[in-house]
């Protein structure tokens, strides 16, 4: 076929592909197949013609629309894909961090019943005395109602941010620093809960404190996970060189720490503006307030379980390690 006849035969179709965007994936795929066929024919019969370059341009554009995802909102993409992808590809380490934290919390709880002075030695005599005073007044969780809300929010956020950074960055000490700080914080949480269980307020404490504690403690566990990744990346490089593994671990752990920040903010907000509504426990709160607290409590647990343990695993399964490594480490 002469070049002019080839152009006349296909020009209208090429014009449509170039000027009209199609949404149907089947139509786009069909156009791509047709263009590849046209390009093969043109390269064989008109290898130096401008029409060959033009068809190649069209085929490349359609290829990109099919196989290369268009960049959307980078922030949204991070929370929808990148962050859960890192969590999912390191899910075993997340479970280790969970095991560490709960083991240390249980240890603190048990020691509080074995040694009468243990609670004061961990939490401080002043704090214990204040809590027991609030319990006698009928406001066992009154500590969340005393301070100015904005001041309380800023203090809690700054403190949790610093504690999280300490847990994460101390992982550079082969993970030993992360282990120590997780032990220290887990012990405090277990001791804190034991103080309320000793006064038969354990169930109420779990409910009220976990309004903010679910996200706060999940953030702490993720920061432990980040520190462990940082330490283990140097100790166990696997198939990578030690420097490649360390770079991978540093980037992964840093992105995990950055990823915890919104949850730290939300936890601090709930602790400052919502948790105080349950200061009197079950008996002192009306049905409307209790309903609100139940919604916050359940929603936080559902979110944590779904996002970090179910959704992250699903995202990681859809992207093999080789592609993950290129996107998270090499391309950074």
Which sequence spans correspond to the domains of the chain?
3-67, 74-330
Q: Where does the pLDDT of residue 58 fall: very low under 50, low under 70, confident under 90, or very high at 90 and above?
A: confident
Q: What is the mean pLDDT of residues 242-260?
A: 90
Q: What are phi and psi of 286, to 5 degrees?
A: -80, 170
Structure confidence at residue 103 (pLDDT): 97
What does R_g of the chain's alpha carbons equal in angstroms?
A: 29
Contacting residues for 219 by C-beta, under 8 A, at least 6 apart:
160, 164, 260, 263, 264, 267
C-alpha span between 89 and 94 (Å, rounded): 10
What DSSP string describes 146-170?
Answer: SS-HHHHHHHHHHHHHHHHHHHHHG
Mean pLDDT, the chain, whole residue set: 86
State the pLDDT confidence band at 145, using cuts at 50, 70 and 90: low
- The length of the chain is 332
Residue 69 scores a pLDDT above 60: no
pLDDT above 90: residue 217: yes
Express each pLDDT in 93-131 by its tens digit.
Answer: 999 999 999 999 999 999 999 998 999 999 998 888 888
pTM: 0.74
Residue where the block lists tokens 């995802």: 69
């Amino acid at each position: 076929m002469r070049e002019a006849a080839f152009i006349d035969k296909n020009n209208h179709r090429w014009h449509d592909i170039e000027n009209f965007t199609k949404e149907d994936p089947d139509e786009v795929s069909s156009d791509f197949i047709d263009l590849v066929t046209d390009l093969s024919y043109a390269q064989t019969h008109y290898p130096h013609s401008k029409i060959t370059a033009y068809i190649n341009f069209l085929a490349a554009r359609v290829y990109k629309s099919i196989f290369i995802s268009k960049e959307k909102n980078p922030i949204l993409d991070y929370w929808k894909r990148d962050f859960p992808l890192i969590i999912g590809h390191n899910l075993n380490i997340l479970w280790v961090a969970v095991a560490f934290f709960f083991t240390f919390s249980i240890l603190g709880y048990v020691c509080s019943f074995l040694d009468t002075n243990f609670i004061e030695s961990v939490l401080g005599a002043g704090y214990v005395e204040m809590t027991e005073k609030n319990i006698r007044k009928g406001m066992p969780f009154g500590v969340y109602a005393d301070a100015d809300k904005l001041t309380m929010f800023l203090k809690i956020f700054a403190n949790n941010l610093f504690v999280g950074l300490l847990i994460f960055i101390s992982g550079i000490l082969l993970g030993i620093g992360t282990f120590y700080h997780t032990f220290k914080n887990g012990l405090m949480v277990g001791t804190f809960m034991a103080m309320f269980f000793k006064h038969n307020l354990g169930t109420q404490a779990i409910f009220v404190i976990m309004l903010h504690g679910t996200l706060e403690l999940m953030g702490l566990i993720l920061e432990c996970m980040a520190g462990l990744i940082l330490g283990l990346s140097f100790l166990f490089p696997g198939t990578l060189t030690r420097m490649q593994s360390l770079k991978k671990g540093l980037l992964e752990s840093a992105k995990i720490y950055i990823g915890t920040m919104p949850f730290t903010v939300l936890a601090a907000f709930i602790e400052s503006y919502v948790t105080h509504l349950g200061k009197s426990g079950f008996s002192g709160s009306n049905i409307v307030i209790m309903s609100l607290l139940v919604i916050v409590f359940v929603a936080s647990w559902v979110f944590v379980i779904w996002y970090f343990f179910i959704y992250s695993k699903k995202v990681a399964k859809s992207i093999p390690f080789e592609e993950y490594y290129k996107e998270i480490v090499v391309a950074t």
